[in-house]
Amino acid sequence: MSWIRDKELSLIERLCANVLKAGPVPKHVAFIMDGNRRYAKKCHVERQEGHSQGFEKLAETLRWCLNLGICEVTVYAFSIENFKRSKEEVDGLMELARQKFTRLLEEKEKLQKHEVCIRVIGDLSLLPLDIQKLIAQAVLETKDYSKCFLNVCFAYTSRHEISNAVREVAWGVQEGLIEPRDVTESLLDQCLYTSHSPDPDLLIRTSGEVRLSDFLLWQTSHSCLVFQSILWPEYTFWNLCEAILRYQYNYTAIQKSRELYSRDRARLQSETDQTWVQQNMFCVEHRNEEEKTKTFQRLLLQCQTDREHRTQNFLRALERKREFFLQSLCTN
């Protein structure tokens, strides 16, 4: 079973997709693919079969997303909390991951054809070493594709991701790359595993559970959240259309709250810079008000340019550190 199904949409599905595409379609959709074990129980099949069918549903869903013009998908495949399940279940899920990543590497042409960039988001070091290596290979081989993006959250929780971002920032300060006053929401945002993706427009959770289970807590504060009662392996094209319709219904309100937030963030940053310059201007003597204003403007510009320079330098160092980790997994 491949990661992306080649099967085309039926005529009625195509028709419906075209109607939806006349409105705003979310660019980035996140899924909490929940309900595999309840599905297995309902169908009287083994639990592992439920997880396996869950993966097949992912492949089908990715095809629907491609057809609907959704170019980025993030899925919650395995949470750090899931390690607490029975050894038998965790081993089964790891085996499934092993098989699917091996298959993905065998089917490179398919990813190339659709130009799919695969990213695995989470704490890879918690995984068996052979799976870490497979993941590193898949991520590095597809990193330059940019038509569509599949982010697989594996060994992931949002709190773990945020704590890691804070540690990265602390490392930057310790190394003298950034200053404590450079630590802003925007910088933390860029230290998350998801730094290369825009925030999801739409988040869908299946199985009727109405909670986020520590998934993308930072990234979904302005996303449309849709909870659907269907179990993940039974998810249909029509369920996806319904979720998109709900997104379209809420589109204006979502855009408005996003705009307000980014405007506020820019204003806050500007105020912080101004305060810092004012506090550091006392040492400069001025002949008159005009000269004082000019000095203030010059120092403000300098402060902003310096901060931008330090931040970019730090983010490049972080990127190199992350790439080096993946590369060392492939070579050792």
Q: Which is nearer to Mg ion, 37 or 310 (CB)?
A: 37
Under 8 Å between Cβ of 114 and 2: no
3-state class of 5 per DSSP? coil
Which of residues 34, 72, 161, 201 is near Mg ion by CB under 5 A?
34
As a whole number of angstroms, the distance between CA 138 and CA 28 comes to 21
Radius of gyration over every alpha carbon of the chain, rounded to an integer in angstroms: 23
CB of 34 to Mg ion, least distance (A): 4
Least separation in angstroms between residue 162's CB and Mg ion is 22
- Nearer to ligand IPE among residue 207 and residue 219 (C-beta): 207
Residue nearest to Mg ion (CB): 34
User: What is the C-alpha to C-alpha distance for residues 315 and 54, in angstroms, rounded to an integer?
Assistant: 36
**In this complex, which beta carbon is closest to Mg ion, that of residue 37 or of residue 196?**
37
| Type of residue at 281 | M
Stretch that binds Mg ion, among 28-36, 117-125, 169-177, 320-328 (CB under 5 A): 28-36
E strands in the chain: 28-32, 72-79, 116-121, 148-156, 202-205, 224-227
For ligand IPE, the closer CB: 83 or 145: 83
Burial class of residue 300 in the structure, from the number of CB atoms within 10 Å of its CB (0-12 exposed, 13-18 middle, 19+ buried): middle
Cβ at position 14, least distance to ligand IPE in Å: 30
Q: Give contact residues for ligand IPE (rule: CB under 6 A).
A: 32-38, 54, 76-79, 81-82, 93, 207, 209, 211, 213
**C-beta of 34 vs 168, nearer to ligand IPE:** 34
Burial of residue 151 (CB within 10 Å: 0-12, 13-18, 19+) is buried
For the bound state, the minimum distance from the C-beta of residue 179 to ligand IPE, rounded and expressed in Å, comes to 38
Taking alpha carbons only, the member of 90, 214, 78 closest to residue 157 is: 214
Burial of 102 from C-beta contacts in 10 A (0-12 / 13-18 / 19+): middle
Whose Cβ is closer to ligand IPE: residue 155's or residue 277's?
Answer: 155
Token representation of residue 230: 């269907």
Other C-beta atoms within 10 Å of 41: how many? 12
Question: Could you tell which of ligand IPE, Mg ion, none binds residue 38, using a CB distance below 5 to 8 A set by kind?
Answer: ligand IPE
CB 237 → ligand IPE: shortest distance, Å? 20
132, interface contact from ligand IPE, Mg ion, none, CB < 5-8 Å by kind: none
Q: Which is nearer to ligand IPE, 184 or 213 (CB)?
A: 213
The option from ligand IPE, Mg ion, none interacting with 190 (CB < 5 to 8 A, set by class) reads: none
Give the nearest distance from C-beta 12 to ligand IPE in angstroms: 30
Q: Please report, as ranges, the residues that interact with Mg ion according to CB under 5 A.
A: 34
